[in-house]
């Protein structure tokens, strides 16, 4: 059986937003550089034999099958960039982002972004690591890039930015059109299962293929481990580890929380604007946060919980205030209503104070208050129980949602082993990383896609510097 090796200037593993965008940015830079060259033959300088040199300059562009020599009559690919994608189509996760509407990024100054990422060994490690990527290619640059290619955006009150047609597929189409225009070769159904570093660069093997790929530079942009059906099943960790990288154990982030003996099941689907979460561990209040909350059949979700989930552990207590009022303010308001309207039913008064009907009835039941109880007949202890159920209700965390349903993976490639100015490995020269495969997890609101595009851009510029040198 004869094995052949196809050589490229750069290989990118993973056609998610980080990988596709890095390929586009790198091809754009290479194209500008190549435009000033008299011939493209010099591109083959990394390739020792003439047959391979010809292949470098005439890569074959088709999906799902092993390239054959006979197919080399296609246009010359000046950038010689190969993207290998395991799924049958690129960027499955991008397509489901923001429920298919794609919350591309967030509004506001880029320095505000830095507080919205977890990851790294210490507090703020991820922010320090990401700073250069985000400042080099910020939210305005991202919007301008897509804007120049015909996408219009709208910003929600909460700062989330979406394409005006609310279609993630419009964002992907722009990326695919650009990749096509720049003659980037994307091989789908090509799952990389091994990577080896040699004096000539990296040798990459794809599952079920006899052909191997070689390049002096490789970018791993395989995403994390969450929503594995979209293609991100942690392969990037295995590939990087095989080259000596340390992997911070992956775990779910942006995950709903499953509550032990959850008493609010019947309220599933109810959401609250501006609720408050206090996170308690071993009796100590370790964090508080406000935001939008959603009740599920098994526990709690919504941006408030998802964004806090990277800090939440089993056996923690989540103390929830469902209202914008503090406990004291609510108690005073309730007292005033009880005194002013002694004949009103307590549950009706609760609805007037901002609780929904179903919630008011359930909270009365949980506080052992019969539904016919009037304001005048409410014992003080039950009144206090009602106040606590509304403004300081404790929930015992059973576990976080699995990686199957977490939107993002926390953990990944250890940031200490990656140069934050270029996204190049500190361990293996020529190896780069971008996107969620890194030990970075952003909040909801567009922070993860921004990180994917920003790190992809910086990796492309790092790779392009390597080509120059």
Ligand X SMILES: Cc1cc2nc3c(=O)[nH]c(=O)nc-3n(C[C@H](O)[C@H](O)[C@H](O)COP(=O)(O)OP(=O)(O)OC[C@H]3O[C@@H](n4cnc5c(N)ncnc54)[C@H](O)[C@@H]3O)c2cc1C
Cα–Cα distance measured from residue 222 to residue 235, given in angstroms and rounded to the nearest whole number = 7
CB-nearer residue toward ligand X: 220 or 334: 220
Residues in contact with 400: Cβ distance below 8 Å, sequence separation at least 6, in sequence order: 251, 252, 255, 256, 257, 258, 309, 312, 314, 406
Min. distance of Cβ 47 from ligand X in angstroms? 23
Residues in contact with 360: Cβ distance below 8 Å, sequence separation at least 6, in sequence order: 347, 348, 350, 351
Residues that bind ligand X (CB under 6 A): 13-19, 84-87, 90-94, 96-98, 102-103, 191-192, 221-223, 226-227, 230-232, 235, 407-408, 435-436, 446-449, 452
CB-nearer residue toward ligand X: 350 or 403: 403
CB-nearer residue toward ligand X: 83 or 323: 83
Whether the Cβ atoms of residue 125 and residue 310 lie closer than 8 Å to each other? no
Min. distance of Cβ 133 from ligand X in angstroms? 12
CB-nearer residue toward ligand X: 411 or 435: 435
CB-nearer residue toward ligand X: 47 or 431: 431
CB-nearer residue toward ligand X: 113 or 363: 113
* Nearest to 274, CA basis, from 293, 301, 296: 293
Largest CA distance in the chain: 95
CB-nearer residue toward ligand X: 401 or 435: 435
Cα–Cα distance measured from residue 265 to residue 326, given in angstroms and rounded to the nearest whole number = 24
Whether the Cβ atoms of residue 450 and residue 442 lie closer than 8 Å to each other? yes
Residues in contact with 187: Cβ distance below 8 Å, sequence separation at least 6, in sequence order: 63, 64, 82, 83, 84, 85, 206
- Strand, coil or helix: what is 10? strand
Min. distance of Cβ 91 from ligand X in angstroms? 6
| Number of separate helices (H) and strands (E) present in the chain | 13, 22
CB-nearer residue toward ligand X: 78 or 299: 299
Q: Is 107 exposed, middle or buried (0-12, 13-18, 19+ CB in 10 A)?
A: middle
CA distances from 202 to 45, 88, 101, 220 (A): 15, 24, 37, 12
CB-nearer residue toward ligand X: 78 or 454: 454
CB-nearer residue toward ligand X: 234 or 299: 234
Residues linked to residue 7 through DSSP beta bridges, in sequence order: 214
Min. distance of Cβ 192 from ligand X in angstroms? 4
Cα–Cα distance measured from residue 357 to residue 72, given in angstroms and rounded to the nearest whole number = 69
- Strand, coil or helix: what is 403? coil
Cα–Cα distance measured from residue 154 to residue 163, given in angstroms and rounded to the nearest whole number = 6
Min. distance of Cβ 235 from ligand X in angstroms? 3
- Strand, coil or helix: what is 225? coil
């Amino acid at each position: 059986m004869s094995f052949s090796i196809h050589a490229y200037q750069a290989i990118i593993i993973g056609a998610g937003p980080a990988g596709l965008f890095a390929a586009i940015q790198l091809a754009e830079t290479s194209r500008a550089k190549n435009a000033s060259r008299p011939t493209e033959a010099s591109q083959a300088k990394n390739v020792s034999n003439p047959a391979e040199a010809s292949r470098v300059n005439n890569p074959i562009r088709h999906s799902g099958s092993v390239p054959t020599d006979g197919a080399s009559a296609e246009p010359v690919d000046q950038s010689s960039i190969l993207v290998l994608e395991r799924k049958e189509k690129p960027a499955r996760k991008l397509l489901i982002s923001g429920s298919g509407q794609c919350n591309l990024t967030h509004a506001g100054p880029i320095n505000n972004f830095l507080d919205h990422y977890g990851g790294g060994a210490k507090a703020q490690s991820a922010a320090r690591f990401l700073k250069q990527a985000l400042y080099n290619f910020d939210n305005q640059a991202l919007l301008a890039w897509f804007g120049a290619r015909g996408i219009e955006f709208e910003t929600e009150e909460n700062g989330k930015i979406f394409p005006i047609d609310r279609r993630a597929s419009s964002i992907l189409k722009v990326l695919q059109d650009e990749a096509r225009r720049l003659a980037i070769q994307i091989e789908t159904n090509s799952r990389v299962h091994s990577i080896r570093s040699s004096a000539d660069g990296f040798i990459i093997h794809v599952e079920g293929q006899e052909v191997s790929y070689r390049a002096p530079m490789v970018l791993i942009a395989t995403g994390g481990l969450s929503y594995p059906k979209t293609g991100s099943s942690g392969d990037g960790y295995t590939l990087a580890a095989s080259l000596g990288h340390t992997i911070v154990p992956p775990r779910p982030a942006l995950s709903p929380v499953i509550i032990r003996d959850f008493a609010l099941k019947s309220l599933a689907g109810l959401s609250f604007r501006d609720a408050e979460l206090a996170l308690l561990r071993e009796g100590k209040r370790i964090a508080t946060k406000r935001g939008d909350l959603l009740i599920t059949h098994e526990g709690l979700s919504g941006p408030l919980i998802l964004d806090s989930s990277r800090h939440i552990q089993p056996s923690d207590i989540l103390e929830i205030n469902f209202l914008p009022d503090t406990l004291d303010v609510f108690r005073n308001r309730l007292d005033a209503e009880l005194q002013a309207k002694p004949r009103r039913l307590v549950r009706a008064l609760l609805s007037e104070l901002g609780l929904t009907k179903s919630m008011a009835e359930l909270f009365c039941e949980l506080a052992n208050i019969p539904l016919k109880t009037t304001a005048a007949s409410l014992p003080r202890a039950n009144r206090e129980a009602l106040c606590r159920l509304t403004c300081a209700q404790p929930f015992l965390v059973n576990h976080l949602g699995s990686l199957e349903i977490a939107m993002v993976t926390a953990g990944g490639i250890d940031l200490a082993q990656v140069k934050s100015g270029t996204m190049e490995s500190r361990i293996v020269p020529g190896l780069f990383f971008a996107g969620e495969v890194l030990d970075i997890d952003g909040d909801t609101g567009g922070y993860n896609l921004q990180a994917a595009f920003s790190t992809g851009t910086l990796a492309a510029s790092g790779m392009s510097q390597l080509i120059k040198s």
